[in-house]
């Protein structure tokens, strides 16, 4: 029996999540900022399709990317140094989340980034918790990603690319930016071959939860990230 959440901002212990399918923990509740932040701090995230009950998950193991473990291929290194692009932070959050929702996913007929989810994460963005990293080419948004920052933990939600390597460019700059600010982990949620190719790896859920307890208690207060470009980091590398 899957627990049904009440109005109280309480979740079952993550250890009670079902191993199949993928760490399903609870159902119901809402997508208020308070509930979402309470969930993320405990390593829980919402994932459901339109017309389904709101479902909450905590997989074991947990796929994570440590910012200094990002794998950058030779071709991407060349692109980061020489390509004609610009990286911006938090200048087009709504456009990024809509693009992620529209992007077809292998093995998925629809999107889990429903209108309800988009509204909830735009509210988190307004409050300074949700952020976008955007790759711009010739003045147009070519790719990017969005996620949640709490303390010194970043929870990656989704990415898209309308041009080659545009999402990887955004991820590379995100890792560089997070390292500068002392972030310790990027949550990637569930394991995929694509994430593994970029350097992400699974860790036990108990390890992930212990890291979150420390990381979420430290770091800067919520607020917008500076919108200025951060691409000089890679262009100045030898």
Whole-prediction pTM value? 0.94
Which percentage of the chain shows pLDDT scores above 70? 92
Give the per-residue pLDDT at 229.
58
Task: Indicate if 63-235 has the same CATH topology as 4-59.
Answer: no
Indicate whether 110 pLDDT > 70.
Answer: no
Give the per-residue pLDDT at 104.
65
Q: Does domain 63-235 match CATH 3.30.559.10?
A: no
Q: What is the SS3 assignment for the chain? A: CCCEECCCCCCCCHHHCCCCCCCEEEEECCCCHHHHHHHHHCCCEECCCCCCCCEEECCCCEEEECHHHCCCCHHHHHHHHHCCCEEEECCCHHHHHHHHHHCCCCCCCCCCCCHHHHHHHHHHHHCCCEEEEEEEECCEEEEEEEEEEECCEEEEEEEEECCCCHHHHHHHHHHHHHHHCCCCEEEEECCCHHHHHCCCEEECHHHHHHHHHHHCCCCCCCCCCCCCCCCHHHHCCC
pLDDT tens digits, residue range 29-79? 999 999 999 999 999 999 998 888 999 999 999 999 999 999 999 999 999
Average pLDDT score over residue span 12-35: 94
Just give the CATH number of 4-59. 3.30.70.3550
Give the per-residue pLDDT at 238.
47
CA–CA distances in Å: residue 223 to residues 75, 94, 182, 184: 34, 16, 16, 19
pLDDT tens digits, residue range 200-214? 999 999 999 999 999
Question: What distance in Å separates the CA atoms of residue 152 and residue 179, rounded to the nearest whole number?
Answer: 10
Q: What is the mean pLDDT of the chain?
A: 92
- 227 vs 166, higher pLDDT: 166
Give the per-residue pLDDT at 127.
98
For the chain, domain boundaries: 4-59, 63-235
Indicate whether 228 pLDDT > 80.
Answer: no
Average pLDDT score over residue span 106-135: 88
Give the per-residue pLDDT at 98.
97
Give the per-residue pLDDT at 64.
98
pLDDT tens digits, residue range 70-105? 999 999 999 998 778 999 999 999 999 999 999 865
């Amino acid at each position: 029996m899957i627990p049904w959440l009440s109005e109280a901002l309480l979740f079952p212990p993550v250890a009670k999540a079902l191993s199949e399918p993928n760490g399903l923990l609870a159902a119901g509740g809402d997508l208020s900022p308070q509930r979402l932040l309470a969930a993320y701090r405990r390593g829980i995230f919402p994932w459901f399709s339109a017309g389904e009950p709101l479902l909450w998950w905590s997989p074991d193991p947990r796929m994570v990317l440590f910012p200094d473990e990002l794998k950058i291929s030779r071709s991407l290194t060349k692109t980061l140094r020489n390509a004609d692009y610009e990286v911006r932070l938090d200048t087009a959050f709504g456009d990024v989340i809509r693009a992620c929702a529209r992007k077809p996913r292998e093995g998925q007929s629809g999107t889990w980034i429903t209108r309800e989810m988009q509204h909830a994460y735009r509210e988190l963005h307004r409050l300074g918790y949700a952020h976008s990293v955007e790759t711009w080419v010739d003045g147009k948004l070519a790719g990017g990603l969005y996620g949640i920052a709490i303390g010194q933990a970043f929870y990656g939600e989704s990415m898209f690319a309308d041009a080659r390597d545009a999402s990887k460019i955004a991820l590379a700059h995100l890792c560089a930016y997070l390292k500068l600010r002392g972030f310790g982990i990027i949550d990637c949620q569930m394991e995929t071959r694509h994430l593994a190719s970029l350097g992400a790896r699974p860790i036990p859920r108990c390890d992930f939860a212990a890291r979150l307890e420390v990381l979420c208690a430290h770091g800067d207060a919520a607020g917008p990230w500076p919108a200025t470009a951060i691409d000089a980091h890679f262009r100045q590398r030898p």
